[in-house]
Structure 1
Amino acid sequence: MFDQPTSGKHKPTVLVIAPSAANRTQICECLYQLPDIRTIATGDGKQALTIIQETWPSMVLLDDTLQGMDGISLTRTIRSWEQSRDEADFSPWTPIVLLSAVNDEDILARGILAGADDFLYKPVSEVVLLAKVRAMLRIATRQQEICAVHRQLKEIAILDSLTGIPNRRHFDDTLAAEWKRCIRTESPLSIVISDVDFFKQFNDIYGHQAGDVCLKAVASSLSESLFRVEDTVARYGGEEFVAILPGTDANGAYAVAERMRLSARDLCIPHQQGIGGRISCSFGVASTRPSIDKAPQQLLRTADAGLYAAKRAGRNRVALNQ
């Protein structure tokens, strides 16, 4: 393997895969004229796959006459890996240009069908090679920018703008998905719904800006009370929050709710009309084993009834509604 020395670790990387050392050297020397890229070269197909997995180059120049693995098969493998690396519902894409000494339309067609983006016939013109590399990297850069924007837009779509935790839309989607998954795995599913006690009075006394700061702090404390990655807490609306606990039974959900209650209480946010002179939350807990003859809205209504029971009992407490 040959790796062009570079001080810019974040430069676009072009991987040259060619069995002939002379061809690799010639191509790399040509690419040196592009100071904003890093070049890696190898003549071994298996080593090329390792390099791709470890570095994921910005572009691949691939000779179709590799020993042990032809360029078209390697192209298919790269495209398959890209699909498995699908991020945020937006597949990554690496430009692949095949290098061939044979001007054969059938080979060209098979290469394109396998996932190659372009062909260059050997011997490759230096001017054409540099132009192709510049064009492909320009397209790849724009695709990466689009991918980044796509991820940002998706995050915006599922996050509550005030608290930064998932919003009601994300909660609804997650509950539906977890309900189906728990049916398949025959696992329990629990809901914890909470409400900031006397929040209207808090806003009346301290103002809505202070109320926003309070909600952000409470949301953060509730999120930090969840220790499993599969658990989700979302802003349900106003001063209400809701947590989805897949694979958790009633006792486990009650313990989580109690941890959340203490976490919110430990914020020690002053509230003249609150319980003990500070902010607190009330919690309703419900648990079930999902089945096709039930609906997730039933579980949510049961948890909501538990929340009202906690409030009627004096607030700052957890009520499990069976």
Structure 2
Amino acid sequence: FRTVLRLFLEQDGYRVAEAENGIEAINVFEQLHPDIILLDISMPDMDGFECCHKLHSLAQDQHTPILMLTSVEDERSINRAFAAGATDYVTKPVLLPILRQRLKRLIEQSQLQQKLIAANQQLQLLVNLDELTQVANRRRFEEYLALEWQRQIRSQQPLSLILCDVDFFKSYNDTYG
């Protein structure tokens, strides 16, 4: 089945890396950081659940989808696969056109997720920095002060704060920016 699947995916333009077992799959993932992982439950050395859990923990920052593609279809195994971090679950025999659409959807969702994370990081910068000076603004000051206050409470250390007021700063800022 793996050979048929590889040929099908390569015909669709995918570059495919194969692994003989779960340990090899983890090594291949760490080297290649693929866009999607197809994983069976029945594998030598380590079952698909354990491999899925390890891959999911490694792929968390990248949001790499894990598709369990297996002949095991009992409810307990399905629940266990999703609990281990599987993104989707397809049972064999699978219709290849259905698999094609699932792969396309999972990769698109992963790419959208990554774009959303990048946009949120950019938004966080815009919310916390003054656009003109690139200096942290009042919102960031208040967040930082709250963090430092909590740390001071935990460590029982004093917290010092210096506030400065520059006279006639508005006219300086209006003139020089």
Equivalent position SS for 1:41? coil
CA distance in structure 1 between the aligned counterparts of 2:122 and 2:176, rounded to whole angstroms: 27
CA distance in structure 2 between the aligned counterparts of 1:115 and 1:80, rounded to whole angstroms: 8
* Alignment RMSD (CA, Å): 2.7
CA distance in structure 1 between the aligned counterparts of 2:139 and 2:93, rounded to whole angstroms: 56
When residues 34 and 193 of structure 1 are mapped into structure 2, their CA distance, relative to the original with a 3 A threshold, is farther
CA distance in structure 2 between the aligned counterparts of 1:195 and 1:34, rounded to whole angstroms: 65
Partner of 2:146: 176
**TM-score (ref. length: structure 1):** 0.48
Offset of 1:49 from its aligned partner?
A: 2.1
Structure having the larger proportion of residues in helix: 2
Measured against aligned partners, the alpha-carbon deviations of 1:19-45 in whole angstroms (never above 9, x if no partner) come to xxxx4433222111333x443221231
> 1:128 and 2:98 equivalent?
yes
Question: What is the identity, as a one-letter code, of the residue corresponding to 1:180?
Answer: Q
> 1:113 and 2:83 equivalent?
yes
CA distance in structure 2 between the aligned counterparts of 1:40 and 1:56, rounded to whole angstroms: 11
Partner of 1:77: 54
Tell me, yes or no, if the aligned pair for 2:41 and 2:68 is still in contact at 8 Å.
yes
Measured against aligned partners, the alpha-carbon deviations of 1:290-318 in whole angstroms (never above 9, x if no partner) come to xxxxxxxxxxxxxxxxxxxxxxxxxxxxx
Matches within 5 A, 1:162-241: 162-187=132-157, 189-194=159-164, 199-200=169-170, 202=172, 208=174, 210-212=175-177
Offset of 1:174 from its aligned partner?
A: 0.7
Q: Point out where structure 1 has 5 or more consecutive residues left out of the alignment.
A: 1-22, 86-91, 213-322
Larger radius of gyration: 1
CA distance in structure 1 between the aligned counterparts of 2:170 and 2:76, rounded to whole angstroms: 73
Offset of 1:47 from its aligned partner?
A: 2.7
Partner of 1:149: 119
> 1:34 and 2:12 equivalent?
yes
Tell me, yes or no, if the aligned pair for 1:30 and 1:130 is still in contact at 8 Å.
no
Equivalent position SS for 1:61? strand
When residues 193 and 57 of structure 1 are mapped into structure 2, their CA distance, relative to the original with a 3 A threshold, is farther
Question: What is the identity, as a one-letter code, of the residue corresponding to 1:75?
Answer: C
Measured against aligned partners, the alpha-carbon deviations of 1:198-233 in whole angstroms (never above 9, x if no partner) come to 645545xxxx3x522xxxxxxxxxxxxxxxxxxxxx
Picking from 69, 72, 80, the partner of 1:102 is 72
Partner of 1:299: none
**TM-score (ref. length: structure 2):** 0.80
CA distance in structure 2 between the aligned counterparts of 1:45 and 1:52, rounded to whole angstroms: 10
Partner of 1:305: none
When residues 200 and 100 of structure 1 are mapped into structure 2, their CA distance, relative to the original with a 3 A threshold, is closer
Offset of 1:78 from its aligned partner?
A: 3.1
Q: Point out where structure 2 has 5 or more consecutive residues left out of the alignment.
A: none
**Between the two proteins, what is the percent identity of the paired residues?**
35
Matches within 5 A, 1:204-283: 208=174, 210-212=175-177
Measured against aligned partners, the alpha-carbon deviations of 1:139-159 in whole angstroms (never above 9, x if no partner) come to 212222222222222222211
Question: What is the identity, as a one-letter code, of the residue corresponding to 2:12?
Answer: L
